[in-house]
Amino acid sequence: MYSFEENIRKVEPYVPGEQPTGKVIKLNTNENPYPPAKGVTEALESMNTDLLRKYPDPTADILVKELADFYNVGEEQVFVGVGSDDVLSMCFLTFFNSDKPIFFPDITYSFYEVWANLYRIPYTCKELDKNFEIVPEDYYGENGGVIFPNPNAPTGLYQELDKVEDIIRHNPDVIVIVDEAYVDFAGESARSLIDKYDNLIVVQTFSKARSMAGMRIGYAISNPHLIKCLNDVKYSFNSYTMNQTSLVCGVEAVKDRAHFEETVHKIIETREWAKEELAKLGFEFLDSKANFIFAKHPEYDAKELFEAMKKENIYVRFWGSRRIEQYMRITIGTKEEMETMFSFLKRYMNK
């Protein structure tokens, strides 16, 4: 063994999630089944590629302005990054520098634990209750910060704003991050609380409701002071992260409010119909408000069912981890994709 091996960072070997190509029904990574706004295609078609020889605007000005306009906040209240993963990671690095543990749910987005480990941030996971609900009181204790998704993943459960506010109000001494990747399919955003609480950051993404997972765009909305802190940290070690195409495509995606509302509406409609179909087949599931459903069947083993679906080129997500061994997460695809899945399930279950 070489001596330099000792200095190489040890990490859990990770296998990237399945990204099958070809003719498959892909309901495993919560992508949007509808294409992005037409303006995105037009922006790429007409792009002046001579611009690419120059560094992109580090302030991402055009995109920040468009988002500020859309959400009716000031430009100095918006921070953008390379997907909400980048934005959240930057929030951990910027705001979670306490010796006290940060709090997040035990069943939640798996990267919270990863970033806490990466930045050596102590953390405590708060168990969801037996209905997989977040218990606000669990987040009252002394801590170094709080983060949770709303709706939560992979449960899909949405907490009404008064419960979210309760957690924020009980934590005035630390930063509270509400990760709203799926909120457009759910209900009211905590954005409306930003003027009221100086410790609140809301993070959203272009990967779900805006059909742009492939462009990697996420953003945070907060008060100007916290946004400045994020930008200061970002600029201090990597100024140019958002590439030129992300900026122009992002602007076009935000501009097309009609397309955004229409696709969100279709997905919600398909989700509610899918719940009825799942119920008819005897599935048990949480009342998801996201673009996926977290479901189990009392008579069928989740892993076996997952494998059987995969053989039919229908990909859903299965973890097999503690408390969720019998659950699968099914992304809401188009009505046609869901129909294909249901006809397979009916055949499989002889119904």
Whole-number Å distance between alpha carbons of 138 and 117: 22
Six token digits for residue 36: 């992005």
CA 62 to chain centre: 23
Q: Would the CA dihedral through 46, 51, 56, 60 be positive or negative?
A: negative
For residue 58, state whether it binds a copy of itself (rule: CB under 8 A): yes
Query: What is the footprint of a copy of itself within residues 251-290 (CB under 8 A)?
Result: none
Task: Output the smallest distance, CB 207 to a copy of itself, in A.
Answer: 7
Q: Residue 81 pairs with which residues in a beta bridge?
A: 218
Query: What is the footprint of a copy of itself within residues 314-343 (CB under 8 A)?
Result: none
Task: Output the smallest distance, CB 18 to a copy of itself, in A.
Answer: 11
Whole-number Å distance between alpha carbons of 95 and 203: 14
- Segment interacting with a copy of itself, rule: CB under 8 A, options 82-90, 271-279, 302-310, 338-346: 82-90
> How would you classify the pairing of strands 25-26 and 123-126?
unpaired
For residue 23, state whether it binds a copy of itself (rule: CB under 8 A): no
Here's the x/- map for a copy of itself, 228-247, by CB under 8 A: it reads as: -x--xx-xxxxxxxxxxxx-
For residue 41, state whether it binds a copy of itself (rule: CB under 8 A): yes
For residue 173, state whether it binds a copy of itself (rule: CB under 8 A): yes
For residue 70, state whether it binds a copy of itself (rule: CB under 8 A): no
Task: Output the smallest distance, CB 245 to a copy of itself, in A.
Answer: 4
Helical pair 335-348 and 302-311, crossing angle rounded to 10 deg? 120
Beta strands in 90-173 (DSSP E): 102-105, 123-126, 145-149
For a copy of itself, give the closer residue by CB, 9 or 322.
9
Six token digits for residue 240: 């140019």
Here's the x/- map for a copy of itself, 88-127, by CB under 8 A: it reads as: -x---xxxxxx------------x--xx--x---------
254 touches 70 (CB < 8 A): yes
For a copy of itself, give the closer residue by CB, 96 or 132.
96
Task: Output the smallest distance, CB 174 to a copy of itself, in A.
Answer: 5
Ordered DSSP codes for 195-213: TT-TTEEEEEESSSTTS-G
